[in-house]
């Protein structure tokens, strides 16, 4: 589990670096699919990870600024770094005893829904990978090579 979070964090950093090479207007240009914008998608990835892990699994009071409060690349990166600092230890302390522990989520419709911690952790991992695919498509649309999202070759697994 931890290695897949490390993978996502590496790829996210690569996307932030990629964004440094793109005109800021392109980061906020309306696109087809997903959230429809590059920078708000990166913000969304961070906010969802932070919300589920700190707010949901750890039960902490969380502060997620609106996108309008962090609407530039520098501020979204800073938000990501702050959130990473708050969730990394939980991710690294993950163990099998947490797998089936249950949390209660309040859905957008106000309903209560129970989720196993392991399910939530895997959802967070898959959520980011899904959005990275959208970022890759949008990068090609503006004529730029997307970030390499290969898991292999990132130095995460050693024999």
Predicted confidence pLDDT, tens digits, the chain (159 residues): 999 999 999 999 999 999 999 999 999 999 999 899 999 999 999 999 999 999 999 999 999 999 999 999 999 999 999 999 999 999 999 999 999 999 998 878 888 999 999 999 999 999 999 999 999 999 999 999 999 999 999 999 976
| Cβ contact 40:57 at 8 Å | no
Residue 159's pLDDT is what?
64
> Whole-model pTM?
0.94
CATH superfamily of 2-23+34-141: dinb family like domain (1.20.120.450)
Residue 47's pLDDT is what?
97
| Three-state secondary structure of the chain | CHHHHHHHHHHHHHHHHHHCCCCHHHHCCCCCCCCCCHHHHHHHHHHHHHHHHHHHHCCCCCCCCCHHHHCCHHHHHHHHHHHHHHHHHHHHCCCHHHCCCEEEEECCCCCEEEEEHHHHHHHHHHHHHHHHHHHHHHHHHCCCCCCCCCCCCCCCCCC
φ/ψ bin of 114: left (φ > 0), alpha (ψ from -120 to 50), beta (otherwise)? beta
- Delimit the domains of the chain by residue range: 2-23+34-141
Residue 40's pLDDT is what?
98
Which pair of tokens denotes residue 59? 């039960």
């Amino acid at each position: 589990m931890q290695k897949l979070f490390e993978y996502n964090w590496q790829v996210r950093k690569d996307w932030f670096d990629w964004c440094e090479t793109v005109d800021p207007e392109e980061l906020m240009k309306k696109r087809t699919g997903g959230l429809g914008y590059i920078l708000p998608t990166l913000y969304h990835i961070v906010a969802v990870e932070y919300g589920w892990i700190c707010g949901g699994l750890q039960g902490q009071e969380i502060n997620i600024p609106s996108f309008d409060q962090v609407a530039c690349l520098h501020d979204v990166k800073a938000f990501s770094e702050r959130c990473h600092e708050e969730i990394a230890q939980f991710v690294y302390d993950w163990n099998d005893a947490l797998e089936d522990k249950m949390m209660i989520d309040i859905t957008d419709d106000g309903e209560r829904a129970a989720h196993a911690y392991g399910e939530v952790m895997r959802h967070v991992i898959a959520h980011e990978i899904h959005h990275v695919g959208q970022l890759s498509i949008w990068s090609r649309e503006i004529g730029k090579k997307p970030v390499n999202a290969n898991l292999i070759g990132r130095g995460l697994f050693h024999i």
